[in-house]
Amino acid sequence: MRKLLIALAVIVGMVVVAVAALPFVLTGDFIAQRIAAAVKERTGRDLDLRIASITLFPRLKAAVASAALSDVPGSGRPPMVEVGSAELEMPLWPLLHGTVELERLHVDGLRANLVVDAGGRANWDFRETGAVQGNQPVGPDGGKPQELPDLRLGDVRIGNVAAGYTDQRSGQSIALSDGSLVVAMPDLDTPAHIEGHAAVNGRALTLMAQVDSPRALAAGKPTAARGRLASDLFEVKLDAKPATDGRTGGPLSASVPDVTALAAWLGVPNAGTLPVRTVHLTGKAGLGGPQASLDDFNLALDDVKASGAVSADWSGKVPAVTLRASVDPIDLDRFLPAPAPAQGTPAQGPAPASADAGWSDEPIDVSPLRRLNLDAVVDSKGTRIRSIGIGPTRTSISLRDGVLAVDVPDLPAFGGHSSSGLKVDATKQPASYALTMTANGLQAEQLLATFGGTNVIRGTTALNIDVTSAGGSQKALVSALMGTAHILFRDGALRGINIAAILRDPVAAATGRLQAAARETDFAEFGGNFRLDHGVARTGDLRMLAPIFRVEGAGTVSLPDRRLDLRLEPTVTSSLKGQGGQFQQAGVTIPVLVTGSFGAPSIQPDYSGVALSAIKDPAKAAEAVRRLKEGASPADILGGFLGSGDSGNSGATDKPAGNLPLPIPGGQLPPALKDLFGR
């Protein structure tokens, strides 16, 4: 027994010595160094923590002289977070039993410098510098409400708060000053009260909130909660109570009577150009666990109204959002930048957009597609964009694990109907795209003016497109287009050339005597099949059906270069009578070249083909050489090859060269004929 008592005495003595030595071992500097090392390991940032004093027994008391957490390494910016001073007091014995009883916490001089750099990285994002990466998989319990320790808050005050936010991409800047926050929460099972005040960019901002049971709210269980966040430019209110479905829910409202003033207050660039002036939102909010919802919402952006329901679930690796909405008829022109003023006199029909501005090299950021899952169905009652009416339509959007699928089964637009599907796979590098589209009855003039920057064709359009691509910019996507397309225009006209007039009087066409009026070719059908290879569409079966002739063609349409290179070969199917005489079936067909840019295509006869016709008819070529040596007009010779004139008509006479009002420009033969005749 005596030995046992001696052993107990030794143990008690060691404990007493250890406890007595703790204040000397656990000094403020020692604790600050350990905390700084842990912060460095977790975030990659430096923490400069200076503890003025610390007492462990019988109560934990600590006084922090200053603290500063560094910004992104190498940024050269001041600390991201600074604390002027702080005092903490809490009993130690409840803490050893799992109860955090914070009797007193006073923080004075809290400052934060928040920056989003030009590359889009936020300085509070520790994923690239910390040892623990934010994108690591969530554990099996990640996202589930965690059991909170008992928490009791007494006198908690944070004063003299200042913060700055700067977005270097847009120039937006927000400054908060004179901030204060008071929290009263006796324990997790009694009501908690929060009151905050601050001046944001010179305007007062207030926060008032009350939660009846903080423990229930944290665990995703129903409880009552009320709150109001407001300034003189906006107001958000919530009045939630326990709901029958086991969640916390109630009316939510948000109102912004002057969006321009609010945006200017928050430092949004070009706030005066925003297309919306007022915003009003009402709905029934719900919160339970890692889910939140807004049911029966009504949103009004000026006179644009939408209604529906939206919910969010952040229990998975990325948040998941579900949306069902209906949008009243809307004019989108108000939300788009004004088109550039037209240069010169506009052509017939809608003024086309610039088609030669080039494709953009600006990177397309698809990373947001990997940060959210979305299931949305939006019913639109009608849309108007660039003076083009789009009828009621339903759009289904599915975004899961970085793969976006957009489906529009019926889109009434451009006078017809279309259906389309788009798939974007943002998990690949670069992202891949796939588009399918079928359409019928679209007005070609509007369609081409809107998407092609030209109005060279009028009529109705039928489309069948199946293409894929991959790339990180608009230019890269266009240059990587692969797939097929079938395009057919019906009952319209090709502007810029009158093929019938050329066939009727090729000499006048060659010599520039055709009237400029009615420079278009009517057709019943015009189209073909195209195969796209790295953005270049090739066709070998281009065809035009007109009342008195047929046209077959081939060539390429280079989307990356925005250029056309097509050759059309007309063939007469019936007599061509009228001004200029009758086309002789023995004459030579003149091909038509459609070349140049989308914005200013050139549609011209190809007179070099006449030389090939001469080679096919040696007798006529010999006759032409003889007449040329005798001084005949080049236009007369060209007319002989093309079959121009009406030799069978009574009263017809051969006109000498000097009587042609406009010979071949400059008195010169086309290059091919000049080489053939040696002149």
Confidence of residue 337 (pLDDT cuts 50, 70, 90): low
Q: Is the pTM of this model over 0.85?
A: no
Instruction: Tell me the pLDDT band of 149, cut-offs 50, 70 and 90.
Output: low
Q: Which amino acid is at 309?
A: A
State residue 406's pLDDT score: 97
**Residue 150 CB partners (closer than 8 Å, separation 6+):** 94, 98, 99, 100, 101, 187, 188
pLDDT tens readout for residues 75-126: 889 999 999 898 888 887 776 666 777 778 888 999 999 999 888 888 988 7
Tell me: pLDDT of 619 over 70. Answer: no
Task: For the beta carbon of residue 619, count every other beta carbon within 10 angstroms.
Answer: 7
Cα 439 versus chain centre, distance: 24
CA distances from 553 to 530, 541, 545 (A): 12, 6, 12
The answer to whether the CB of 326 falls within 8 A of the CB of 307 is yes
Q: CA-to-CA distance for 83 and 87, rounded, in angstroms? A: 11
Can you say whether residue 581 is alpha, beta or left, with left for phi > 0 and alpha for psi between -120 and 50 degrees?
Answer: left
- Using the predicted structure, report yes or no on whether residue 171 has a pLDDT greater than 90: no
Q: Which of 164, 136, 109, 127 minimizes the C-alpha distance to 45?
A: 127
Cα(457)–Cα(347) distance, rounded to whole angstroms? 12
Q: What is the mean pLDDT of residues 599-611?
A: 72
The answer to whether residue 661 scores a pLDDT higher than 70 is: no
Q: Are 179 and 195 in contact (CB under 8 A)?
A: no
The larger pLDDT score, comparing residue 630 to residue 467, is at: 467
Segment 277-304 shows an average pLDDT of 92
pLDDT band, residue 376 (cuts 50/70/90): very high
- In this predicted model, what pLDDT tens digit does every residue of 543-593 receive, in sequence order? 988 877 788 899 999 999 999 999 988 877 655 444 334 444 434 467 888
Q: Are 295 and 307 in contact (CB under 8 A)?
A: no
First to last CA, the chain: 136
Give, in order, the Cα–Cα distances in Å from 594 to each of 290, 388, 580, 582: 61, 28, 24, 26
pLDDT of residue 580: 38
Strands (E) in 534-667, as ranges, are 536-545, 549-558, 563-572, 592-597, 601-605
The pLDDT tens digits of the residues spanning 26-54 come to: 677 888 888 888 888 888 889 998 988 88
| 618 CB neighbour count, 10 Å cutoff | 9
Q: Are 86 and 106 spatial neighbours (Cβ–Cβ below 8 Å)?
A: yes
Query: CA-to-CA distance for 561 and 596, rounded, in angstroms?
Result: 10
CA quadruple 125, 129, 134, 137: dihedral, nearest 10: 170
Decide which of 167 and 5 is more confident: 167
Strands 383-385 and 330-331: parallel
CB 83 within 8 A of CB 62: no
The tokens for 560 are: 């990356």
pLDDT tier at 624 (50, 70, 90 boundaries)?
Answer: low
